[in-house]
Structure 1
Amino acid sequence: MDKSQLVECVRAAGIVGQGGAGFPAHVKYDTDVETVIANGCECEPLLHSDKHLMEARAEDLVRGLRALRTAVGARRGVIAVKRKYERVADRLRKAMAGADLELALLDDFYPAGDEQVLIYEATGRSVPPLGLPKDVGALVANVGTLVSVGDALDGKPVTHRLVTVTGDVARPAIWNVPLGTPLSDLVEACGGATVEDPVHILGGPMMGRVVDDPKQAASAVVTKTLGGVILVPRGHYLHQRATLSLDVMARRAATACIQCRYCTDLCPRFLIGHDFQTHKVMRALGGGGPEAAPGSLQALLCSECGLCELFSCPMHLSPRRLNAALKVRFREQKVDFPEPRRVKPSQAALRSYRKIPVSRLAIKLDIARYMGLHPEFLGDLKPARVRVPLRQHIGAPSVPLVKPGDRVSAGQPVGAIPSGALGAFVHAPLSGVVTAVDDAVTITGEPS
Structure 2
Amino acid sequence: MSLVDKIKNAGVIGAGGAGFPTHAKVSGEADYVLLNAAECEPLLRVDQQLLVLYTDSILYGLDAIARQLQVKHAIIGIKKKHGDVIDVLRRRIRELRLAIEIHEMADFYPAGDEQIMVYELTGRIVPEGGIPIKVGCVVINVETTLNVNRSMEDMSVTDSFVTVSGDVPHPLTMKVPVGTPMKEVVAKAGITDLDGYAVIDGGPMMGRVLKDMDATVMKKTKGYIVLRTEHPLIVKKTATDRTAFLEGRSACEQCRMCTDLCPRHLIGHNLNPHKIMRAVKYNLARLEELTQANLCSQCGICTLFSCPAHLKPHQINFMIKQQLGANKLRYTPLTEAYHASAARDYRRLPVKRLIRHLGLYAFDKPAPMTDVTFASPEVRISLHQHVGAPAVAVVAAGDVVIKGQLIADVPEGTLGAAVHASVNGMVASITDQEITIKVG
What is the TM-score of this pair, normalised by structure 1?
A: 0.94
Indicate yes or no: 2:368 matched with 1:376.
yes
Checking the alignment, whether the CA contact within 8 Å between 2:171 and 2:189 is kept in structure 1 is: yes
Segments of 5+ residues of structure 1 without an aligned counterpart are: none
The aligned residue for residue 209 of structure 1 is: 208
What is the distance in 1 between the residues matched to 2:317 and 2:363? 29
The aligned residue for residue 304 of structure 1 is: 298
**Residue identity in the other structure for 1:441:** I
Bigger CA drift: 18-27 or 32-41?
18-27
2:22 to 6, 22, 25: 25
What is the distance in 2 between the residues matched to 1:314 and 1:150? 46
Deviation per CA, 1:304-356, whole angstroms, max 9, x where unpaired? 100011000111111111111111111111112133244431x4211111110
Checking the alignment, whether the CA contact within 8 Å between 1:36 and 1:69 is kept in structure 2 is: yes
Indicate yes or no: 2:359 matched with 1:360.
no
Indicate yes or no: 2:338 matched with 1:339.
no
Partner SS, residue 78 of structure 2: strand
What is the distance in 2 between the residues matched to 1:348 and 1:176? 41
Partner SS, residue 342 of structure 2: helix
The aligned residue for residue 248 of structure 2 is: 253
Q: How many residues align?
A: 436
What is the distance in 2 between the residues matched to 1:293 and 1:284? 12
Segments of 5+ residues of structure 2 without an aligned counterpart are: none
Checking the alignment, whether the CA contact within 8 Å between 2:197 and 2:227 is kept in structure 1 is: yes
The aligned residue for residue 146 of structure 1 is: 145
Q: How big is the shift at 1:193?
A: 5.4
The aligned residue for residue 316 of structure 1 is: 310
Deviation per CA, 1:203-234, whole angstroms, max 9, x where unpaired? 000000112x4xx11x1100011100010001
The aligned residue for residue 179 of structure 1 is: 178
Checking the alignment, whether the CA contact within 8 Å between 1:37 and 1:79 is kept in structure 2 is: yes
Deviation per CA, 1:357-379, whole angstroms, max 9, x where unpaired? 011101111111111x2111111
Checking the alignment, whether the CA contact within 8 Å between 2:8 and 2:418 is kept in structure 1 is: yes
* Aligned ranges 1:10-409 → 2 under 5 Å: 10-97=7-94, 98-192=97-191, 196-211=195-210, 213=211, 216-217=212-213, 219-288=214-283, 290-291=285-286, 294=289, 296-345=290-339, 347-371=340-364, 373-384=365-376, 385-409=378-402
What is the distance in 1 between the residues matched to 2:123 and 2:219? 31
What is the distance in 1 between the residues matched to 2:199 and 2:287? 38
Checking the alignment, whether the CA contact within 8 Å between 2:287 and 2:324 is kept in structure 1 is: no
Which contiguous aligned blocks of 4+ residues in structure 1 show a shift greater than 3 angstroms?
193-196, 341-344
- RMSD of equivalent CA atoms: 1.5
Checking the alignment, whether the CA contact within 8 Å between 1:280 and 1:298 is kept in structure 2 is: no
Partner SS, residue 90 of structure 2: helix
Checking the alignment, whether the CA contact within 8 Å between 2:127 and 2:338 is kept in structure 1 is: no
What is the distance in 2 between the residues matched to 1:358 and 1:428? 37
